[in-house]
Homo-oligomer: A and B are copies of this chain.
Amino acid sequence: MLKIDTNIEVRYYETDQMGVVHHSNYIRYFETARTLSMKKAGIPYDEMESQGIVMPIISVSCTYKRPALFGDTLRVTVILEKLPTVKIEFKYEVHNAQDVLLATGSTVLAFAHKETLRPMRAPQYLLDILKPLF
């Protein structure tokens, strides 16, 4: 299992008039933490795209437990429990600086050819990088 933490500071425009971070932004935090985590693991997403591979989202879910606030530094944990095949599933945990669990979530992504958006298997070099990390 692979677990990588990323710190994300809440931005003012991410709050709404309820005084908390708008729920849609967690989906964006997931993506931000995922791309930064993959970069740390040696898999920069911009290079994947320049090699003609995109990773469209198949599904997303999020459960909200406590609100995140402006001023919070969030710790977003990206968890990969299984090696990818035609799909890759990431799980997420969001904590604040007081270590309170704010939200959990998951996303399933596919691999696709950039121009045609036709599905493909996870590229071999991705598996080569991920395997030793498990």
Contacts and interface: CB of A to CB of B under 8 A. Distances in A.
A70 B28 contact: no
Nearest to A70: B46
Interface in A43-73: 44-47, 49, 54, 56-64, 67, 69-71
A20 B64 CA distance: 24
Interface stretch (A11-19, A92-100, A120-128): A11-19
Task: Pick from A23, A28, A62 the residue with the most CB of B within 10 Å.
Answer: A23
Interface of A, helix, strand, loop or mixed by DSSP: mixed
A56 B64 CA distance: 9
Contacts of A57: 23, 64
Contacts of A13: 16, 22, 24, 28, 31
Contact of A24 (B31, B56, B61): B31
Given A31-B12, A32-B11, A44-B71, A54 B24 contact: no
Contacts of A47: 71
13 contacts: A13-B16, A16-B17, A18-B117, A23-B57, A24-B25, A24-B27, A27-B27, A44-B71, A49-B70, A60-B60, A60-B61, A60-B64, A61-B62
Given A56-B67, A59-B61, A59-B62, 19 more contacts: A11-B31, A11-B32, A11-B35, A12-B35, A12-B45, A13-B22, A13-B28, A15-B16, A15-B17, A17-B18, A18-B56, A20-B56, A23-B57, A27-B60, A45-B70, A46-B69, A46-B71, A49-B70, A61-B61
